Amino acid sequence: MTIQVSPSPIANSDAMSLRSAVLDRDEYLTGLLNQLTAQKAEGWLQELRQHAVKWVRHSTIPTTREEEWRFTDLSALRKVQFQAATQFIPSEISSLTLPEAANSRLVFVNGVYTPDLSAITDLPAGVIVSNLTALPQAEQEHISQYLAQAEGAEEVFTALNTAGLTDVAVVVVRKNVVIETPIHLLFIAVGGDKPTISQPRCLVVAESGSQVTFIEEYTNHKDTEGKVYLTNAVTEIWLAENAQVSHTRVEREGAEAFHIGKTAIAQARDSRYTCNAITFGGKLSRHNLEVLQTGEQTETTLNGLTIIYGNQLADTHSAIALNHPYGKSEQLHKCIVGDRAHAVFNGKVFVPKPAQLTNAAQLNRNLLLSSKARVDTKPQLEITADNVKCAHGATVSQLEDDEIFYLQSRGIDENAARNLLINAFAAEIINQIPVASLRETLLTTVNSLKSSHD
């Protein structure tokens, strides 16, 4: 005779609680996950999402006890209960578009592709600029070998983005194709009566011998100023042998917004990648910029500019892994910090033993406009190769009285002299942007920011 003993309801409850505690380590993060996974996908995309869900359920929101987040406190974020953003179509966005990219623009509003505001015409053969769901099935499956395959895919906010993935801004440039027209990927946030979260995603694939310039821009609709929302963005960029990518990333979210962004780049042999990262907006913003060298003789140029005022916090974390010989990287990141704002820069360059004859330089320059402004900077080199040329450094300064006096002696009043010096400090980065209309817009934004905080 076999006697069956029913499990105790209490024991069952305890076991379920234990499994829940193991899987859902962070109640707040689980709440975000539930909001973002309500919409299902199919096939390989659903499998990709399910894998990311598992990572998220084993993760927690970072705290200042973790070294990588020591200066960026997310407790204000945790106090906000976000809900998934809904689709919204603005009546017009002419002030946000670029004339150079009039026929090569993808627009996403609250993370949702908006064809009525996009414009994709007259692109040369061998160039794909589209959202993922509009691509043929064969092309989607080709894309699957790149999407969410970059290093660092398990990082909590990156995995959260993948877990809720429904669509992607996709740029593919085929072998030996050179596209002269810049491509504009525009992500517009429209806040609602309640705090919302959206998760834009970009994938750029430059095949061997190709060249492309693209602008990735995050902004808010004019009626959204003052609204609380979270943008959790991820961009993956793959450069094949001898490919060349010029990438400009602009973040100018609303004053009460949270922005967390990840840019992951993989560079094959002889490829050249340039990033111009501009940060103006957001109550709290964080950009993780990670470059992985997968072949010899790559060139990497990272230019960054952060301008913040009030109580803003802007954090830039970069990591360049030069794993092969003859690599070259140059990084210049500048911060202009006013009022009680707080800027963070942490840049790492890894040069292991196989990466002989590497040439790497890294510099962080900071300009404080107020006695209460703050910057935490930590440039780092980790080198085990013995035949390299590497340098790094950081400076923190204020506007020099001698320079202001010199300009005043030439008939320029004090306020104009200060503005001229600030403009010159910012222009070194902005002038590297290859799109003229965007350069002009950003210089105007610099002036308007100064004027509103004088």
User: Under a CB-based contact definition with an 8 Å cutoff, are residues 186 and 218 in contact?
Assistant: no
By DSSP bridging, strand 127-131 and strand 169-173 are antiparallel
Distance CA 302, CA 273 (A): 8
Q: Where are the beta strands (DSSP E) in 255-312?
A: 258-267, 272-279, 284-293, 299-308
pLDDT at 22: 53
The low-confidence residues of the chain, meaning pLDDT below 50, are 1-21
Element (H, E) at 141: helix 137-143
In the beta sheet, which residues pair with residue 244? 211, 272
| Residue 110 vs residues 171, 213, 273, 284, 431: alpha-carbon distances, Å | 20, 24, 28, 18, 30
User: Under a CB-based contact definition with an 8 Å cutoff, are residues 181 and 104 in contact?
Assistant: yes
Flag whether the pTM goes above 0.85. Answer: yes
By DSSP bridging, strand 104-109 and strand 119-120 are antiparallel
In the beta sheet, which residues pair with residue 246? 213, 274
Distance CA 418, CA 454 (A): 10
Distance CA 304, CA 88 (A): 31
Read off φ and ψ for residue 362, nearest 5 degrees.
-145, 130
| Residue 135 vs residues 140, 156, 239, 432: alpha-carbon distances, Å | 6, 28, 21, 33
Secondary-structure percent of the chain, ordered helix, strand, coil, rounded to 5: 25, 35, 35
Q: What is the per-residue pLDDT across 302-324, written as a single tens digit (0 to 9) for each?
A: 999 999 999 999 999 999 999 99
What is the DSSP secondary structure assignment for residue 238, as one 8-state letter? E
Could you give the 3-state DSSP secondary structure of residue 218? strand
Task: For the beta carbon of residue 2, count every other beta carbon within 10 angstroms.
Answer: 3
| Residue 205 vs residues 164, 177, 303: alpha-carbon distances, Å | 22, 12, 21
Q: Which of 345, 338, 278, 277 is nearest to 312 (CA)?
A: 338
Distance CA 435, CA 428 (A): 15
Distance CA 422, CA 450 (A): 9
pLDDT at 21: 47
pLDDT at 89: 81
What is the DSSP secondary structure assignment for residue 336, as one 8-state letter? E
Please list, in sequence order, all residues whose beta carbon lies within 8 angstroms of the beta carbon of residue 302, skipping any fewer than 6 positions away. Answer: 274, 275, 277, 289, 291, 318, 320, 329, 330, 331, 332, 333
Q: Which of 389, 245, 237, 246 is nearest to 326 (CA)?
A: 389
Q: Which of 128, 131, 92, 134 is nearest to 108 (CA)?
A: 131
Q: Give the pair of three-digit tokens for residue 226.
A: 């003052």
Using the structure block, give the residue that is written with the tokens 């060349």.
244
Q: Give the pair of three-digit tokens for residue 234.
A: 């991820």
Please list, in sequence order, all residues whose beta carbon lies within 8 angstroms of the beta carbon of residue 300, skipping any fewer than 6 positions away. Answer: 265, 267, 272, 273, 274, 291, 293, 320, 327, 328, 329, 330
User: What single string gives the DSSP state of each residue in 43-96?
Assistant: HHHHHHHHHHHHHHHT-----TTSGGGTT---HHHHTS--EEPPP---S--GGG
pLDDT at 319: 97
